[in-house]
Each structure stands twice: as structure tokens, then as C-alpha cells.
Structure 1
């Protein structure tokens, strides 16, 4: 494997010049940088992260912990976060659930970001995670953990969704999904804030998958008092519910309006372009990248950072006909 010293000899420059050129140091002349990079590319040079870590004490790697990968939301967030970290000179490693503790310890990553999710034993997990002894923060939490965090104001987002539907004349607004307490609580509070009644029968049981949303609608006995509009727990549940409504012969939005939580690119390409409420993912990624880099550099940070969900109007909501 070619080394920096080999590149220096072939390019006719010093070891330090090669190091600076490979790290995009602005003090290196463009012509010299191009010469060094050409030699490195010709001989297929690859940076040795372990060697860099030993010499600098930094790996320039950030860990990102998720609990599952099946939801397209997480692939979208991961992709955007990777892009933002790369702009700041860092690479990202993605791991699932608490496997990250062992992986990050071995790699000695510079910092880690944890997506907040339901844990069977949250206290034990945090104790284990605290042993990493590195800058960390929680992304997307609704609680106040004993660390910096970025909060998504899900309750305010659901209020915006309910408020929009009420402005269209809907007074019976249902919710598809009962697996996320903060969203269900936000839905109830939004009804209260807008002067609408809560009806337990208008909450359709569903967990978080496409199938859950589909069968929640399929199993619901529609009648005269059924909701004229629904809000889906997440993008998958909403897409499943939309398919079930269309198969049952309902027109969306003429018969029933539908809003999905999470705004992903594919929501606009559903059978009916879906109106959504959710955090702007680009802003979420930028804020997360800036926060972890600031923590690594031991800079003063203002936390928590609060992300406000945005209502994205498309074709799945309309004036209530009843």
C-alpha cells in the first residue's frame, strides 16, 4: 500500500506538503495540490484512519445510532446527515440500536448522535452509553435527557395539522396509530386547543408499518359519525391508510381528507399527493451536524435546539362536504 512518504517522493514535495494537500489545506498552492492528488489517485492511495487517529488523536468519524432501518424516514435523515458531516470534514458510521456502544468504543469515534426511540430499559441503556466518554447528544427526543439534545416539537406539528383540517370545515378528525404516546397526546391536545371533541373511537389502532395503516382503515366500521379526515402516525402508516381508503371506494380528498406525519420526497408521489406535517429534514441534518461538531470542539452551545414541523400542502385535503 502506497504511503504519504511514497507520494511525497513521487511528487517531489515534502511529507508535510502531501499531508496538507490531502487534507485540503488552503495554504497549499492549487498547482501543488493538483500534482499531489494526481499522484495519489494514480497509485490508489487511501487514507489510513487508524494512523491519522494515532497522530492527531482524532478519527474524524461521527457515529449515528438508529433503532431500525425499515422506515424511509431514517434513510432520508441518514443521507442528509452524512452529507452535512462530510461538508464539515467528518465521515459517518451508522449502527443499529445499542450495538453502537461497542462499535464506537473500538473505533474511538470523535462523537455520536443517538436517534431517540422507545427502549425497554432506558435507564440501563443510558448508563451503558455514558461509558463512551465522548461528545454525544440525542436527536428527535421529546424528553429532557441529561445531555444536549435536539427536540422536534411534534405536538405543535399536530396542532398545525388539526388546525388546517378544521379550517376546511372538518370537525370529526381521526388519528391512525396509537404506538407513539407523544403524538397521540399531541393529537388530543390539538383537538382541545381548537375546540373539537375527542372521541376514543376515532383513534384507529396501528403501530408503525404500512400494513398497520392499511388494516387500520380496512378494519374500521365507517358510519355516519366516522371521521371525515384522518392524520397518520407516520409516513408508512399514512401510505397504507391511503391505499385502503382508495380500495374501499373512497375519494381522497373529496370523501375523506388525509394528512401524514413525516414529510418525505415520496409522499408527493403517492396515489394522491399527500399533505404532510413534519420537521424539515434538511434543517434537522444541518442542526445535528453543527451541534455535534461544536460539542467535539468544546464550543459553547445553546441547547435544546427545537425544530418546528412544517405543514406541506398537497392534494389530499379538501373542504368537508358534510
Structure 2
């Protein structure tokens, strides 16, 4: 079967080769009617973009690489989906890779740019050593560190402070934290207590890594004494969902007995057994900022950095005014 080319589509549509190319790549300068006509012909004749030919003719692949350290957290599927949509609006496709495999894939496809999610920095020495051989724009998304190149920062400490401040405004003075695997959030928790005039207690930090099971067993293994926290902040969406199940199975009413806030506002948080209040960056904003930054870097435009994303507090059913009955009797 002979494959249809851009020149064939141009002849059938009665437009130039350049117009077809721009229409297929989502160029906003092409009139909607022309774009619709071109896309209809391309679909009818099962046109498939020849990435190699495009690279040879333009020097660009119109592909952006997105590097993650792991894929188990639904946060990453949400971010990936939104980022892919934003890049597509700008005429780019996105490929998703796990850190160790990224460089080889990028080298073979000759991607135009790379976005590296912060948790992939667990592999940063090995990754950057291999990546330095490639010449393409790249930046870190979601980092807490101050870097010497463009990056997008999520102010996680301020997010934790907003959660502590909110719980304290509801009358909670014994506020716990579920999870001890992310230093920046744990530091933010300690600083937030200090800023609000509350005491830090070591046993208010429940050991948990990052999974649903970690959150669940952190609660089920905790001894709720007379001075136990009346509110908790979960390290991430998974830990918080597990902790909620643990509290409910232990017979506690959320939020009447114990209030709970989760970090990361994902769609499923509002559909949990109790709709969960959350703190975290707006993923739509994160995706827009990331897409705009990588495109600017590819175009060799001057950019101001860091770009700082402030977490937003979403109030739902899992938090309430402190009643005082549970642990004070």
C-alpha cells in the first residue's frame, strides 16, 4: 500500500505544502475551515506523519520528552495527561519515559526538548551525566531546589503551612503529619507549627513512605492516646486515601472525630469514602506553565525563572471544627 504524503494532501486540498504542514501541526495561523479540510483528507487516506522526514526537512521533531522517576502515583498520570494536552495545543507531541531509559529514547528520536519531573532527580547524577551529551533545552518541573537553569518550583512548604493554618483556624492545636519520606514537606510541617505557635511532637509524625498501604498501616499501627492529634495532614494523595480507610475501619468518624487533609488535589480525592480536603498545586496551571516554558526554550527566547506555583487549599468534607469530645474526656 502506498503511503500518502503531505504533497499528496496539498494537491487534494488545493493548498500549498506549507499550509498542509502547518495545519497538521496545529498552527493557529491556519484558518479553521482550511485546517478541517486538510485533517479530513489526511484521515480519509490514513496519513501518518513521517517523523524522520520532518526532522530532515525542518531540523525539528515536534516531540517533547517528559521524564518521571516512577509511575505508580496517579498524580503522574494526571500531570502527564494535562501536559500532553497543553503541548498538543502548541503543535507538539509528548513521549513519557522513566528516568533511566530517557536519554537513549531521546537520542534516537531527537526530541526537541525535555521536561524532568522533580522526583526523577533521585537519579540526577547518572541522568545528567548521560544527558549532557545531548544538545536540547531541558528544565526541571516541580522542584524545591534553587537551580542555575530555568525551572518551575512548587512551594510545598507554603502549601503545608496553609494546611496547618487552616486546621488551626478550626480549633485544632494537635496536628499530626502522616509520612516521613519527603524532607521538604516534613520541614514545612515543622516550620508551619512554629509559625502558628504550635508545639512539634515527634510522635505526631507517623512513619509512612508514599503508598496507599503506607498511609493505611500508619494509622492502624498508631496508638491514639489522650493527647493524640485531632487532625492529620497526609504526605500525598495515596497516603491520605490509605489513612482515611484506616481511620474509618478503626471506628473514627471523619471529620467529627478526626479531620484529615491530603496533599495533591486529584479528581479521585473528592470521590473518596469521605470527600477529602486537599492542599496542592493546580495541575492545570502546572501544565500550562510547563508547556509555555519548554516551547520558549526551544525557540531560544529569554525566560524569567524560577516560575513558582503556589499550592491551593480545597475545602471538602474531611475537615471540621474541633469538637473536643474524642480525646479530652
Q: TM-score, normalised by structure 1?
A: 0.94
Aligned twin of 1:199: 201
Structure 1, residues 127-182: CA drift from partner, whole Å, max 9, x if none? 22222221000001111233211000000000000001111111110000000000
Q: Is residue 282 from structure 1 mapped to residue 274 from structure 2 by the alignment? A: no
Q: Does the 8 A contact of 1:65 with 1:96 survive in 2?
A: yes
Which SS does the other structure have where 2:94 is aligned? strand
Q: How does 1:62-77 map to 2 (within 5 A)?
A: 62-77=64-79
**What CA distance in whole angstroms lies between the structure 1 residues aligned with 2:32 and 2:289?**
32
Aligned twin of 1:92: 94
Aligned twin of 1:310: 312
Aligned twin of 1:245: 247
Paired residue total: 322
**What CA distance in whole angstroms lies between the structure 1 residues aligned with 2:221 and 2:5?**
64
Q: TM-score, normalised by structure 2?
A: 0.92
CA drift of 1:17 comes to 4.9
Aligned twin of 1:55: 57
Q: Is residue 104 from structure 1 mapped to residue 131 from structure 2 by the alignment? A: no
Which SS does the other structure have where 1:53 is aligned? helix
Q: How does 1:210-221 map to 2 (within 5 A)?
A: 210-221=212-223
Structure 1, residues 273-305: CA drift from partner, whole Å, max 9, x if none? 100000011000000000000000111111000
**What CA distance in whole angstroms lies between the structure 1 residues aligned with 2:35 and 2:184?**
52
Aligned twin of 1:235: 237
**What CA distance in whole angstroms lies between the structure 2 residues aligned with 1:64 and 1:118?**
10
Q: Does the 8 A contact of 1:65 with 1:98 survive in 2?
A: no
Aligned twin of 1:43: 45
CA drift of 1:9 comes to 4.3
Structure 2 unaligned spans of 5+: 325-329
Aligned twin of 1:166: 168
CA drift of 1:125 comes to 2.9
Structure 1, residues 191-236: CA drift from partner, whole Å, max 9, x if none? 0000000000010000000000000000001100110000000000
**What CA distance in whole angstroms lies between the structure 1 residues aligned with 2:108 and 2:166?**
49
Q: Is residue 300 from structure 1 mapped to residue 302 from structure 2 by the alignment? A: yes
CA drift of 1:19 comes to 3.6
Structure 1 pair 291/14, CA: closer, same or farther in 2 (3 Å)? Answer: closer
Structure 1, residues 90-117: CA drift from partner, whole Å, max 9, x if none? 1100001121111111111000000011
Q: Does the 8 A contact of 2:99 with 2:127 survive in 1?
A: no
Structure 1 pair 77/23, CA: closer, same or farther in 2 (3 Å)? Answer: closer
**What CA distance in whole angstroms lies between the structure 2 residues aligned with 1:219 and 1:251?**
18
Q: Does the 8 A contact of 1:7 with 1:40 survive in 2?
A: yes
* Match among 265, 268, 272 for residue 266 of structure 1: 268
**What CA distance in whole angstroms lies between the structure 1 residues aligned with 2:36 and 2:86?**
25
Q: Does the 8 A contact of 1:151 with 1:307 survive in 2?
A: yes
Aligned twin of 1:179: 181
Q: Does the 8 A contact of 2:160 with 2:279 survive in 1?
A: yes
Structure 1 pair 146/48, CA: closer, same or farther in 2 (3 Å)? Answer: same
Which SS does the other structure have where 1:196 is aligned? coil
Q: Does the 8 A contact of 2:212 with 2:242 survive in 1?
A: yes
